[in-house]
Chain A
Amino acid sequence: MPQSVLVVDDEANILLSLEFLMKKAGYEVRLARDGEEALAEIGKARPDLVLLDVMMPKRNGFDVCEAIRANPEWRPVRVILLTAKGRDIEREKGLALGADDYITKPFSTREVVERVTAWIGPAK
């Protein structure tokens, strides 16, 4: 079974590109368009990693990250934040809330795949 990655973003095009990239790397991919949907997906089946956009309607990325960390069962889940604001303070806040990594938009497709692989290993 390949590792599973949950991609969360409110921009359809970004979702689409990340889905393509993760599938190509061999991971099982699920998608969510906002924070609530993301938490529902995690609840259904625990992913190995969440690519999480910060600025989203309803619950934003920070909220979701906090919720993930608040649940002991979800401890093994890796969280990589995606942000388009690109300010140091956002990065600090994300890491303080328990995110594992942090990627600034626009990102290099190669880098995203490398980071994901670094955290959960190449797809089996």
Chain B
Amino acid sequence: MLGGYVIITVSFLYLSILFAIAYYGDRRADQRRSIIASPYIFALSIAVYATAWTFYGSVGRAASSGVSFLPIYLGPTLTFILGWFLIRKIIRISKVNRITSIADFVASRYGKSSFLGGLVTIIAVVGIMPYISLQLKAISTSFAVLQHYPDIVMPAKLGSTPVLQDTALYVAVIMAAFAILFGTRHIDASERHEGMVAAIAFESVVKLFAFLAVGLFVTFGIYGGFGEVFSRAATDPALARLFTLEAAGGYTSWISLTLVSMAAIVLLPRQFQVLVVENVDERHIKKAIWLFPVYMLLINIFVLPIAFGGLLHFPGNTVDADTFVLTVPMAEHFWTIALFAFIGGLSAATGMIIVETIALATMVSNDLVMPLLLRFGRLHLSERKDLSGLMLAIRRSAIIFVILLGYAYVRLIGESYALVSIGLMSFVAAAQFAPAILGGILWKGATRLGAMAGMSAGFLVWIYTLLLPSFARSGWISESFVQDGPWGLALFSPYALLGLSGLDHIAHALFWTMVINVGLYAAVSLMTTQTMIERSQAVQFVDIFKQPSEGARIWRGTATIGDLRRLSNRFIGETLTDQALQRFERDRGRRLDDAHAADADIVHYAERQLAGAIGAASARIMIASVLREEMHDIDEVMQILDEASQLVVYSRQLEEKSRQLEAATAELRAANERLKELDKMKDDFVSTISHEFRTPLTSIRSFSEIVHDNPDIPVEQRKMFLGTIVQETERLTRLVNDILDLAKMQAGQTDWQLARIEPRKVIDNALAATAGLFAKNPRIKLECRVAEDLPRILVDADRITQVLVNLISNAVKFCDKDHGLITIMARAEAGSVLVSVHDNGVGIAREDHKKIFERFRQAGDTLIGKPQGTGLGLPISVHILERFGGTIWVESELGKGATFFVRIPSAELSHLATAAREVT
């Protein structure tokens, strides 16, 4: 009733539907009316993760070890929930860099290394081989089982069937044909396959419904719902143990399976293809975060019921648990359900094989074969105009090769492994990309050599701990290799490396591959340095979100002649551009339409025109930015980078110059401020001088006029007024003298009469000159204490006397009016003479201590009444003392009087100082 022909016909019918959808999807894509631009389609296409392994294998796994099938679905869910931003980053990087595969991604990150791309490709092809074989095995087994409907007959061992009678071979051939049809009908510039994605999304719906149908049939058709299935399983002693976690392999097993699946959902070549390369809009990630886990949940709900149903139905291991999805409906004689289940399994396997082989074929052609061919100069490939035919041939061969490799593995390994165990090997292989990719997008310091070392070492350990044992187990290598280690060296036993035992094979292999991979990746990265192109790529990858979003521009399409015209306008102006393009039209005898796509001829021409204006390297970059083309030629890239590094040098020099300029500007600004300040000081000085002159002049004029206009005023009064006039005239004279004095000193035009004199004499002179003041103010007492043995000083005696007179008259002016006391002291101190004049007046506020030595800066405002004098006495004193190498300063506090100190170096000291000045 369900003969081989029926099954084959239905299968081909189904595959034709898939192909029709793909064809339609491609057509729509060509018309730029995408049918996959939806987050739902995106999420469903990611469900290509659920393969025949999920469809048949999960039940098989559940039947042997309970819930241990779950981590495979928990991992991806965790990745989506916890790592969505990493996925988004990978997508953004891939869009911006027009990444076409996971190999391309790794190669691009580590300095566009073609060697690394090839390495990833080889790891992927070898690592995925068991996974593809799993699909072939599942299809052929399910076909063989269903063929005998309604009898349940387990198929003979594959290895024992002659190759030409082996269903798996025909399945492989058919799959290869379909993959070629789906993925390599033509070469797409962006390596995107919209039709394929649409078909995959449809396929995901079919396998989900098929599995749900079987699940519902078993749970509710045969039994009375979940409760009955579970309670019956729980009462069966053989089944009860499946409810425990020990059955599921313990925690290490759970954790390692979860981790490895977390990586697999992104890093398996086909997952990278649908998740990253085929992604239409990175915002779709947001919906996929929950849509995909929901899909995973739905397809897992009935795994346990079906497994229990199968175990209850077929006690005693007579039927392979991996076939329960098929055999339980068969046993119940529901051929429709069984056939639907077969289509679901076929669907799951087909989807996986198509996407996986297309992804691998792209890698093989772009990252392995083409770089080799291009490097092989004698083929002159780089000069050939159209390489697409060659590319297609390479890819088709790659698809056939990959599938046949999978088939070969099935033949070799045969029945010795369950579906899930085979698939997990591939997961661990794919996990070898994780350090290089995760590190690549998060750590700028990761180097090409680090990635190379980590990945290749991890891969070798994978071969040793998983691939070789699988050959041994199926008898192709001696069993003792696994049991006792190579040549009996137990330390190197592939399942217990360095004595690490107690883990299941997958956890063991994952542990060692990751230790070696991550360790070497980090260590070698830290020890090696990056080349310039590596560094620039590293920065671009890690900082992708910090850059202005150039990506949008880059992947939007190809350039038009209008684009070139606008670019050219920007650099050489409209007139020149128009002339250049007209010349091109005349020379080539063709019309240029701005809306038309630019071809190589015009691009080359435009680039040359631009190069004349901005240099060859920059023109190359500008044209490339408009064309969104990739630069394949490493030499060219390096040349551009060299010129760019020169630019960096220039720009550093420019920066340095501008820094110097800034510093100079700052200096100028400061000088300007200083000038303004000086200008204001000059204004203040002039205005103060004006005031100082006008004040005595006012009195003189007033009294003169009064005396003149009032001949009748009493004689006494007249005398007094005339006295005032004389007094104010004297004041004016003093002021003029002081100002001239100061001006001369400042100009260095003073005559100094230097002589070695006794300090005592100067003090006596000063006291004699001020005796009149004390006579006028009898309430002020004077104390004078001059030491005996003062050294002589080399000074102008009159000038020093002037300083002391000034200090003494100031003291008289400011000391206490009723109990005035002025103390003059002189003593020798460290080769100098120190003279101090103390008064017991109001004192000088600390903030005024400096001010009073400036011109016209009497601390008058703080004093009662306006002090007499010109306000120039102290500034003049400062100048005089400076001339003789002395100093003058004040010590005082408000209310405690003031002491002015004058220090004059002894004649010997002055002499030495002068001598020293002359020597130097």
The interface of chain A, by Cβ under 8 A from chain B, is 10-11, 13-14, 16-18, 20-21, 24, 33, 55-58, 84-87, 104-110
Contact = CB atoms under 8 A, between A and B. Distances in A.
A105 B695 contact: yes
Given A17-B703, A24-B710, A57-B861, A85 B695 contact: no
Given A16-B724, A33-B865, A110 B699 contact: no
Interface stretch (B39-47, B98-106, B686-694, B828-836): B686-694
B691 A84 contact: yes
Contact of B690 (A21, A33, A58, A86): A86
Contact of A84 (B690, B721, B724, B863): B690
A10 B695 CA distance: 10
Given A17-B703, A87-B687, A107-B701, A57 B694 contact: no
| 7 tightest A-B CB contacts, nearest first | A17-B702, A84-B694, A13-B699, A106-B698, A105-B698, A109-B705, A106-B701
Contacts of B700: 106
Contacts of B690: 84-86
B706 A21 contact: yes
B702 A109 contact: yes
B504 interface: no
Interface in B658-704: 687, 690-691, 694-695, 697-703
B694 to A, nearest CB: 4
B863 A57 contact: yes
Contact of A13 (B728, B863, B865): B728
B691 A10 contact: no
Contacts of A107: 698, 701-702
A17 B695 contact: no
Contacts of B701: 106-109
B860 interface: yes
B866 interface: yes
Given A14-B702, A17-B703, A33-B865, A106 B728 contact: no
A86 B861 CA distance: 21
Contact of B694 (A13, A16, A33, A106): A106
B709 interface: yes
Nearest to A20: B706
Contact of B698 (A14, A20, A57): A14
A110 B687 contact: no
A105 B694 contact: yes
A33 to B, nearest CB: 7
Interface string B25-56: 00000000000000000000000000000000
A84 B698 contact: yes
A109 B706 CA distance: 7
A86 B699 CA distance: 16
A107 B724 CA distance: 17
20 contacts: A11-B699, A11-B866, A13-B727, A13-B728, A14-B695, A14-B698, A17-B698, A17-B721, A57-B860, A57-B861, A57-B863, A57-B865, A84-B698, A85-B694, A86-B690, A86-B694, A105-B694, A106-B697, A106-B700, A109-B706
B724 A105 contact: no
A54 to B, nearest CB: 9
Contacts of B687: 85, 87
Interface string B835-875: 00000000000000000000000001101111000000000
Interface of B: 687, 690-691, 694-695, 697-703, 705-706, 709-710, 721, 724, 727-728, 860-861, 863-866
Given A11-B698, A105-B695, 14 more contacts: A10-B866, A11-B866, A13-B699, A13-B727, A17-B703, A58-B861, A84-B694, A105-B698, A106-B694, A107-B702, A108-B701, A109-B702, A109-B706, A109-B709
Contacts of A106: 694, 697-698, 700-702
Contacts of B721: 17
Contacts of B703: 13, 17
Nearest to A90: B687
A38 to B, nearest CB: 15
B171 to A, nearest CB: 105
Contacts of B694: 84-86, 104-106
Contacts of B863: 57
A57 B858 CA distance: 11
A10 B863 CA distance: 12
Nearest to A15: B699
A108 B708 CA distance: 12
A16 B687 CA distance: 25
A108 B705 CA distance: 8
A57 B697 CA distance: 20
Contacts of A14: 695, 698-699, 702
Contact of A18 (B702, B724, B728, B861): B702
Given A10-B866, A24-B710, A85-B687, A110 B705 contact: yes
B691 A17 contact: no
A17 B709 contact: no
Contacts of A58: 861
Contacts of A55: 691
A84 B860 contact: no
A18 to B, nearest CB: 7
Given A10-B865, A86-B690, A105 B705 contact: no
A104 to B, nearest CB: 8
Nearest to A17: B702
Nearest to A24: B710
Contact of B697 (A33, A56, A105, A108): A105
Contacts of A10: 865-866
A109 B697 CA distance: 13
Nearest to B688: A85
Contacts of B861: 57-58
Contact of B866 (A16, A57, A85): A57
A33 B710 CA distance: 26
A12 to B, nearest CB: 9
A8 to B, nearest CB: 13
B685 to A, nearest CB: 12
Nearest to B693: A84
A85 B705 CA distance: 22
Contacts of A24: 710
Nearest to A112: B702
A55 B861 CA distance: 10
Contacts of B691: 55, 84-85
B148 to A, nearest CB: 116
Nearest to B713: A20
Contacts of A16: 724
B254 to A, nearest CB: 88
A108 B721 CA distance: 16
A100 B191 CA distance: 92
A16 B866 CA distance: 16
Contacts of B864: 57
A69 to B, nearest CB: 23
Nearest to B720: A16
A110 B703 CA distance: 12
Nearest to B704: A109
Contacts of A85: 687, 690-691, 694
Contacts of B698: 11, 14, 17, 84, 105-107
Contacts of A87: 687
Nearest to B701: A106
B863 to A, nearest CB: 7
A85 B690 CA distance: 6
A77 B860 CA distance: 29
Contacts of A17: 698-699, 702-703, 706, 721
Contacts of A33: 865
A105 B864 CA distance: 23
A13 B866 contact: no
Contacts of A86: 690, 694
Contacts of B727: 13
Nearest to A89: B687
Contacts of A13: 699, 702-703, 724, 727-728
